[in-house]
Amino acid sequence: GAVVSQHPSWVICKSGTSVKIECRSLDFQATTMFWYRQFPKQSLMLMATSNEGSKATYEQGVEKDKFLINHASLTLSTLTVTSAHPEDSSFYICSARLQGARGSPLHFGNGTRLTVT
């Protein structure tokens, strides 16, 4: 149980275009989902907390207009990288926690490797 599916697993786009990444909790409901970014050989950096039915909470230094987050249902959160640039190339990972289970472990998707050319 507690499976998180992330799509696509990889994407290549041209500079200036926008890319949408989906994160789905397949067998549980998640009021809150989290979006991380990971550079090669580095740890996961929290970008934002996605809250179902309300605005996302962004970490300091993360541009909310650049990284648009929508959490329209209890099983789906999307991250849109707008006007992508080569420096946005990275590994993006989402995670989710069982609804109402504060303190329970996060379950991660398999990540999306974004390459901006």
Partner 1 sequence: GQQLNQSPQSMFIQEGEDVSMNCTSSSIFNTWLWYKQDPGEGPVLLIALYKAGELTSNGRLTAQFGITRKDSFLNISASIPSDVGIYFCAGQLKNNNDMRFGAGTRLTVKP
Where on the chain is the footprint of partner 1 (CB under 8 A)?
A: 4, 6, 32, 34, 41-44, 46, 49, 59, 91, 93, 95, 97, 102-111, 113
Q: Tell me whether residue 69 or residue 93 sits nearer to partner 1 (CB atom).
A: 93
CB of 111 to partner 1, least distance (A): 5
> 48 near 113, Cβ under 8 Å?
no
- Which three-class secondary structure state does DSSP give residue 117? coil
Q: Tell me whether residue 3 or residue 16 sits nearer to partner 1 (CB atom).
A: 3
* β 112-116/10-13 pair status: parallel
CB of 73 to partner 1, least distance (A): 19
Q: Tell me whether residue 28 or residue 108 sits nearer to partner 1 (CB atom).
A: 108
Amino acid letter at 62? V
Q: Tell me whether residue 16 or residue 105 sits nearer to partner 1 (CB atom).
A: 105
Quote the CA–CA distance of 62 and 69 in Å, as a whole number. Answer: 12
Amino acid letter at 64? K
> 95 near 3, Cβ under 8 Å?
no
CB of 74 to partner 1, least distance (A): 16
CB of 99 to partner 1, least distance (A): 12
CA-based nearest residue to 98, from 44, 9, 33, 43: 33
